[in-house]
Structure 1
Amino acid sequence: MNTENPGCLTGVARAVALVVVLPVRLVWDALVWCLKQLWRWILAPLGRALGWLIHHLVLVPLRWLWEWVLVPVGRALWWLIDLLVVTPLAWLWRWVLLPVGKAVWWVVDLLLVTPLAWLWRQVLAPVGRAVGAALAWAWEVAGRVSRAVGRVIGWVLWNVVGRPLAWVYRVILTPVGHWLRAWVWRPVAAAARAVRAAAREVRQALFGGLG
């Protein structure tokens, strides 16, 4: 190929590009024109028709139903509820329940709360304080008496039982124990040891070292 002529190469490249791009551009332009025609003559009129149908068959009836049926019916129902329920209940609360409640509370306060408060303030609380003080004083005095009685009982038991037992233990039992240990237990223990030693010698003499 002759590469020395740039104009020839450019012409060939343009011819090849035109051959490749031209069908694509024709198809694209045809598709765009078809879509425009489809939108202009089919989709847009169909959308306008659907919007008109929805507006006149759905929105307008719903608006009419809201304005001329639901709102008047709701107002009528609220008027009936207010007339038959709310107003009677308000009147009953204002003119019956509230006065009766106030009267009942006045009677309860007069016959129960005020007497009980007076009884507690003038009788029960002072009596309770006096009883508590008396019990505390009696408890303290009883503690003192109990400690004194304990000391007396301890003194009596020591002088009646403890002191004689201590004297018997110190004067009689201790010397007797010393005498028994010196003159009975030690000789008996020595005799027992002698008997055991003799028996061991006899066993060794009779049986040898088998024992």
Structure 2
Amino acid sequence: MNTENARSQPPHEPSGCLTGVARGIALVVVLPVRLVWDALAFCLRQLWRWVLAPVGRALGWLIDVLLVTPLRWLWEWVLVPVGRALWWLVDTVLLTPLGWLWRWVLLPVAKGVWWVVDLLLVTPLTWLWRYVLAPVGRAVGAALAWAWHIAGVISRAVGRAVGWVLWNVIGRPLAWTYRVVLTPVGHWLRTWVWAPVAAAARAVRAAAREVRVALFGGSR
């Protein structure tokens, strides 16, 4: 029995005197904290039991009596009946007559007007476009295209004829005059007039340069 008790004890348990001192110090330190904690918990429980809970219940009852119940009563006995009455009034005075007016008056009138417009305007215009305007337009377009092509052919022929006339009346004589008259005259003038004049001018410039050098000196 003693052997079992010895085995159950911690292997490194401090001696009895040191344990007592540590427990006494711990008790001195922890006891005030525990007393304050228990006192605070007791005060909070009493505060909740005798103050906060009754005040909460009183406020809940007051809110239910002064706000929730009147609002519920207002909703159930005033707003809902008034809303139903207004909806019945709007449906009876406005929606049902408008639906009846649309179904039995406006829709048949619109269908009749569309039938008349289709009969007197859309169908004739469609027939006119399909059997008159479109064929006439295609014929006019084809005629204009043919006329444009023929006018182009005639214009090119007239242009060639006018060009031939202008060449034979003006261009050919001018070309013959330039080739037969002006070109030989130009060659003669260049050979017998311009070349001697240019040579004389060069001789005069050379003589003037010689005179200037002889009188005033300087490079030739």
TM class, shorter-chain normalised? Answer: over 0.9
Shift of 1:13: 1.1
Runs of 4+ aligned residues of structure 1 deviating over 6 Å after TM superposition are: none
Provide the residue aligned with 1:134 in structure 2: 143
Count residues with an aligned counterpart: 207
Taking structure 1 as the reference length, the TM-score comes to 0.93
Q: 1:28 aligns with which of 31, 37, 43?
A: 37
Shift of 1:116: 0.8
Provide the residue aligned with 2:52 in structure 1: 43
1:88 & 1:210 partners in 2: Cα distance? 126
Provide the residue aligned with 1:13 in structure 2: 22
Shift of 1:103: 1.6
The gaps in structure 2 that reach 5 residues or longer are 1-13
1:148 pairs with 2:157? yes
Q: Deviations over 1:92-148 (max 9, x none)?
A: 212221122112111111111111111111110010000000001111111111111
Provide the residue aligned with 2:194 in structure 1: 185
Give the letter aligned to residue 10 of structure 1.
Answer: T
Q: 1:173 aligns with which of 146, 171, 182?
A: 182
Query: Which range is displaced more, 25-34 or 145-154?
Result: 145-154
Query: What SS is found at the alignment partner of 1:209?
Result: coil
Provide the residue aligned with 1:159 in structure 2: 168
Q: 1:90 aligns with which of 99, 102, 109?
A: 99
1:195 & 1:86 partners in 2: Cα distance? 122
1:57 & 1:151 partners in 2: Cα distance? 112
Query: Which range is displaced more, 65-74 or 147-156?
Result: 147-156
1:204 & 1:80 partners in 2: Cα distance? 132
Shift of 1:210: 9.4
1:121 pairs with 2:130? yes
2:105 & 2:207 partners in 1: Cα distance? 121
Q: Deviations over 1:171-211 (max 9, x none)?
A: 11111111110000000001011111111222222222399
Q: 2:65 aligns with which of 31, 49, 56?
A: 56
The gaps in structure 1 that reach 5 residues or longer are none
Q: Deviations over 1:39-74 (max 9, x none)?
A: 111111211121122222211111111110000000
Shift of 1:168: 1.0
1:112 & 1:204 partners in 2: Cα distance? 110
Q: 2:86 aligns with which of 71, 74, 77?
A: 77
Structural RMSD (CA): 1.6
Taking structure 2 as the reference length, the TM-score comes to 0.89
Query: Which range is displaced more, 23-32 or 155-164?
Result: 155-164
